[in-house]
Amino acid sequence: THLSTKFIQRVEQKIDDIENTNAIEEENEDLFQEENQPINYELLLEIKESLKNSKYNNNILRIIWKTILTVSNENDDKIVEKLVVALHKFVTSHLIDFPLIEISIQLQKLLNKLYLPTVEESIEIFNEFINHTCFKPLFYRLLLHPGVTEKQIEDFMFPISQLAEQIPNIELVIFFDEVNTSSCLGLFKEMFIDGTLHGINVPKNIFFTAAINPLINLNNDFQVHRRDYIVHELPQSLDNLKVSYGILDSNTLTDYIKQKISRFTVTSTRNTQTQMPLELYVQEMLTQSILQAQEFCEIHLGIIFFLLKLFEDNRN
């Protein structure tokens, strides 16, 4: 009861300030003086219910945990040690039970320390866990070009395969972009057709998909495009998997570009921690600029390749 009273006295005003101003807790403990007053059981019950029903945001959760540890550290060393150990076990067990959780580098460093975390470190562990923990992706993309080696592809596949083995009931999607610009087509044939990578089975819950560039046979005298755009003929087994979706119509292309641009954010000039979407007129201007550039390339670059192909056919 003694610790509960001290906790309520300190946390009450802090929670009110956060809820009323949506501000972040300030590190000024002197503002909250303890007084000899009875425990506010109504507030204590409200905190318990709010925690149970996940009503509090991260700022309030940080305040509650910090206040609990601070009060315990000032009054009972044994209790604070139990709390520090309990949090450490909770976080580490969650990382084992839920392999899709991805933690920050700082949290990884804190958890890997061989000694018992201090009160300050336990507060930091809590903050890192609730504020900087995210989920690992289920979709992966690798852009290919002639410079990508088999070793780089192996390194790309290794952590994905590890994750797939940990979550066998969830499908992971790997997208290889411009796959026929790669010099490792044999390796892709092995993965796509045989389901192995250098003879080692690829997890069954990994789904492969890829995009290829159109094959244009130009005479060596007219090799005007860059080396990283040279495409190779697919192995027969992969060639049979091709599906042509044609060219996007203008409406679909416009919608796609608008959706991509709507996700762009800029940093607020008033608060560097705040990310804001682009204003609508900027989004529209960017969309039109991209569409016009696309149209220019299709018209002018398309004519160049057409003339070169026509010239080559006439020579033959």
Boundary residue ending a domain (246, 272, 293): 246
Its pTM stands at 0.66
What integer pLDDT is reported at residue 95 of this predicted model? 93
Which structural domain, as residue segments, surrounds residue 54? 2-133
Residue with tokens 């201007």: 285
pLDDT-based confidence at residue 266 (cuts at 50, 70, 90)? confident
Domain shared by 98 and 183, yes or no: no
DSSP one-letter code for 115 = S
- Contact between residue 160 and residue 206 where contact means Cβ atoms under 8 Å apart: yes
Place of tokens 């690829």: 202
Last residue of a domain, one of 133, 159, 178: 133
Tell me how far apart the alpha carbons of residues 292 and 298 are, in angstroms, rounded to a whole number.
Answer: 10
Q: How confident is the model at residue 300 (pLDDT cuts 50, 70, 90)?
A: confident
Residues 75 and 61 in one domain: yes
Residues 143 and 35 in one domain: no
Structural element, H or E, at residue 101: strand 101-102
pLDDT at 245 over 90: no
Helix (H, G, I), strand (E, B) or coil at 212: coil
Helices 77-97 and 58-75 cross at an angle (nearest 10°) of 140
Same domain, 87 and 168: no
**Mean predicted confidence (pLDDT) in 96-111:** 94
Fill in the DSSP letter of residue 199.
T
Q: What would the pLDDT profile of 64-84 be if each residue is shown by its tens digit?
A: 899 889 988 888 889 999 999
Angle at 21 between CA 16 and CA 22, to 5 degrees: 95
**Tally of domains within the chain:** 3
Last residue of a domain, one of 84, 115, 133: 133
Identify whether residues 229 and 310 lie together within a single domain.
Answer: no
